[in-house]
Structure 1
Amino acid sequence: MNILPKTIYLLILVAFFSAPVIFGQTGKILIETQLTRYGPDLKSNTYSVNITATGAPSFGKAYNLNNNDDDVKVSYSLVQYDKSNYPLKVVINGSYVVKPTQMGGPECNQKDQATLVSPKSVSMGACHGRTNLLLLDLPEPSGIIGNCDNFTIQKQVQLSGADYSWQYKKNNDTQWKYFTYGTQYTEKGLNFNFKDIPDLKDYTGNLFIKFVVEYENLNTSKIEIYESDIVTYAIIPCSPRLDATSDPNITDCNYSNGSVIFTFSRPLETGEKYLFNRKPAGTGYVFDATSNDPEVEKISALSYKWKNIPAGVHEFKYQTQFGNNTPSTPSTATTFTITPRTPPLTFKAKEIQPQCSTDKGGIEISVSGGTPPYYYILDNGTKKELIKNPDIIDITTDGEHKVIVLDRFDCIEK
């Protein structure tokens, strides 16, 4: 607790508007004003704070420091405001005159102004006074938060006579717990990684957070507390890290679809599955699959092959999900490419006529492209390997014959 010597703390509650705030989202500003007495011969002084908002009544407060006060007096005002009235204009005026021991004694007249916009904290001064304005409210959650990510709330904090803290509770906690100053929060706000806080490592569920300001009221010897609203953030598991994507990914045939293998940083937990998403470049179409679908093959505990993908460049995202619950955080987008097999399979067939009745005829086959070894099917018979290239297939009967040539992936000429 920061306590100044010979200091008086006063609590002043003031309405920001002349009528209760009805429309819009309400919030709170804590105004801390510190007045310092120039000396024992103070003749007169004035100090005021005024806040104006577009389309709304203004807030104004005048402060005074008398000769019978201590050297420093700190006052607090808590005002309500409507967030739709941003930005807020703040103006302070200060003046004092000290009884002169000779003509022309010390005097001061100063003015300061600033604009208050969340999450900014404003510090201002004039003559014998200093005012800090602090927005107590926390930002509303936007999107989902993964438990391997950094959690950040920006909030500038400038207070001279009060302490403050960031506190949290998990779903089943009965007591609020404190974040640590210097490592998890500073004057710039709250910033931590879940893995660095043992109590929050791998945590999933609701995380309740509040911001608390407290000071010692020397008039009552009590601790006065100002709290922000409690904001709930949904914390979900992070997706495994994508460690590798297979490359190159070449189709079996020049005309067929291909596949890609993804390797991740950890195995799936029991009941967990992948949600895959790809978008072909230059199109607005999106295709989805899960690790339980027939077109996704589990290669190992870490690797999965997504099959039957057309040639081209594809944007890829993924996340995981337990049952039908909320998915984990989506990954950033990466790309992979499916390349058609080149050159395509082609072959030539040349008939070989027998020279006499005792000779055998044949078909000479020469093959290029595709992927060796090569095979042939004669007259819808069994598939046999071409031993040589070119190779001759014996023909024992007269007439027309049909031959099909295939490569190792059963690709044909097209």
Structure 2
Amino acid sequence: MKTNYGGCWNFHDGTHTYEDDFEYKITSLDGKWLCQITEVGQYLIFNEKPNYYIYADFKTESTGCNGPCGDGYSVSLMTTLNDCQKAVGTVYGNYWSNAPFFEIMSNKVLIPPTVVSNSFCNKITLTAVGCTGAQRFFWEYSTNGNDFYKINISTGFNENYDFIKENFPLLKNYSGNINFRALIDSDSEITGEEIYSNIVSYNIIPCSPNLVGSPEIIKPSCFQGKDGQVTFTFDRDLIDNETFLLNLTQVVNGNNLPPKEKNVSKAEFLNKKITFTGLESGNYFLHYQTFQNNNTTPTSDNLSDLFFVDQSKALKYIINTTNPSCYGANGEIVVEASGGTPPYYYSINNATKTPFTNPFTSDANGFKGSQILTIPNGSYNIRITDSNNCIEN
């Protein structure tokens, strides 16, 4: 904070005797007068957020009346600084004076994490929040709350810094509490006004295995079938006493259905792959994390991107008949099949299925094939299947 005045002794009790006097007050939101924790030149820094600033400069009477009617004064008033902590007051009254201009900031520039967001496994984004200004924030970390290590990174107001654990050899295998703070340098041309920010604490937890590439998807073998499957590949094996908990969730019309759950041991985690079967076509996502030491130490909690299990084309067919031309002659049944997964098969009156003798073809609309059956006069039950034994519903 820059000001023409220095020292807490400039705080006044707010009473005036209508003679040369001034009131200079910086308070918290509840009206408590604040005193700076350090002062170098014209820089003042508080250990809590200032919310109000009032400056009033009173002059002696000049009109000869009793009471305050003859006072000349100017007032600069700053109220409710909110997050920005910076404003210019208004000046008014019978007497003009140069009211101080203030850039107000406290050392509480780091926002503590919530209970939900206080854990990370490898990366956390840190930010010193407040007004745009010349201040620089030099970051440090500590795992015991006492010994802080310089990170050799500085940021400005509202500039993000991504702390990545794997970049620090001392933290390679570390799990537990970690504290962050920033040394605030208000003016690079002045020495001694630097002050440490408040401290924020996070919890480093082990990282879950990471997904490698996209899931391998096998769509259901038949239209509206429920035998699709998906295989996920991860980047590491499980360690001793570590288990893998995975939930595969289908999303229908924006709603999550009850998930398919797997609890996989190290011995079951073969080739770093896990497969879910019995899937119908639809949108899915995977929720996964591991637990160590008999489920007492969780790793990072992760969600995959949404992915889609496609639908197989429906098997369809039409049947055309040609009656015998003469008594005792044979007629024809012509079957035209499409979709599904060729080759196609037919059976007559529930007899053994027989492959189509004509080769199937394919175009932009999928597969198709035909079969001509020359058979005597009579009634027949025709059933068409494909290579997956799918039938038309």
TM bracket, shorter-chain basis: 0.5 to 0.7
Pairing of 1:5-404 with structure 2 (within 5 A): 48-51=24-27, 53=29, 56-59=30-33, 72=41, 78=47, 88-92=51-55, 111=76, 113=78, 115-118=80-83, 120-122=84-86, 132-136=104-108, 138-142=110-114, 143-144=116-117, 145-156=119-130, 165-170=138-143, 175-182=147-154, 185-188=155-158, 191-194=161-164, 195-200=166-171, 204-211=175-182, 228-235=198-205, 237=207, 240=210, 243-244=213-214, 251-257=220-226, 259=228, 261=230, 266=235, 269-270=238-239, 271-272=243-244, 274-280=246-252, 282-290=253-261, 301=272, 306-312=276-282, 314=283, 316-322=285-291, 324=295, 325-326=297-298, 328-331=300-303, 333-336=305-308, 338-342=310-314, 344-346=315-317, 348=319, 366-369=335-338, 370-376=340-346, 383-388=353-358, 389-392=370-373, 404=383
Q: Is the 8 A contact 1:157 1:189 kept in 2?
A: no
Which one-letter code corresponds to 2:140 in the other structure?
A: Q
Q: Find the aligned partners of 2:23 and 2:132 in 1 and give their Cα distance.
A: 20
Normalised by the length of structure 2, the TM-score is 0.58
Give the unaligned 5+ runs of structure 2: 1-5, 12-19, 60-72, 90-97, 187-191, 359-369
Q: Distance in 1 between matches of 2:172 and 2:82?
A: 33
Measured in 2, the distance between the counterparts of 1:129 and 1:381 equals 98
Q: Per the alignment, in what secondary structure is the counterpart of residue 152 of structure 2?
A: coil
Supply the distance in 1 between the matched residues of 2:213 and 2:306 (Cα, whole angstroms). Answer: 12
Corresponding residue for 1:409? 388
TM-score (norm 1): 0.55
Q: Closer, same or farther in 2 for the Cα pair 1:319/1:168, shift >3 Å?
A: same
For the residue of structure 2 that corresponds to 1:181, the secondary structure is strand
CA RMSD of aligned residues (A): 5.5
Larger fraction in strand? 1
Q: For the structure 1 residues 73 and 165, does the alpha-carbon distance in structure 2 shift closer, same or farther, using more than 3 Å as the test?
A: same
> Quick one: structure 1 residues 131 and 310, their matched pair in 2 at CA, closer, same or farther if it must change by over 3 Å?
closer
The amino acid across from 2:341 in the alignment is T
Contact 2:47 2:106 in 1 (8 A): no
Shift of 1:390: 1.2
3-state DSSP class of the match of 1:339?
Answer: coil
How far apart, CA to CA, are the structure 2 residues paired with 1:331 and 1:285?
14
Contact 1:166 1:210 (C-alpha < 8 Å) held by counterparts: yes
Distance 1:127 1:244, change over 3 A: same
Distance 2:47 2:120 in 1: 35
Shift of 1:177: 1.9
Number of paired residues? 325
Change (3 A) 1:180 1:242: same
Q: Deviations over 1:114-137 (max 9, x none)?
A: 53334x454879767866431426
How far apart are the structure 1 equivalents of 2:270 and 2:346? 31
| Distance (whole Å) between structure 1 residues aligned to residue 148 and residue 327 of structure 2 | 102
Name which structure has the greater RCO, CA cutoff 8 Å, separation 6+.
1
Alignment CA distance shift 1:60-1:326 (3 Å):
closer
CA offset at residue 334 of structure 1? Answer: 2.9
In structure 1, how many angstroms separate the alpha carbons of the residues matched to 2:197 and 2:126? 19
- Aligned 8 A contact 1:252 1:341 in 2: no
Unmatched runs of 5 consecutive residues or more in structure 1: 1-8, 15-43, 63-70, 82-86, 97-107, 216-221
**Deviations for 1:181-212, whole angstroms, at most 9, x for unmatched residues?**
33xx4444661241544545686543222456
Q: Relative to structure 1, is the Cα distance of residues 50 and 128 closer, same or farther in structure 2, using a 3 angstrom cutoff?
A: closer
Can you list the C-alpha shifts for 1:156-191, whole angstroms capped at 9, x where unaligned? 48999x997543223x79732223233xx4444661
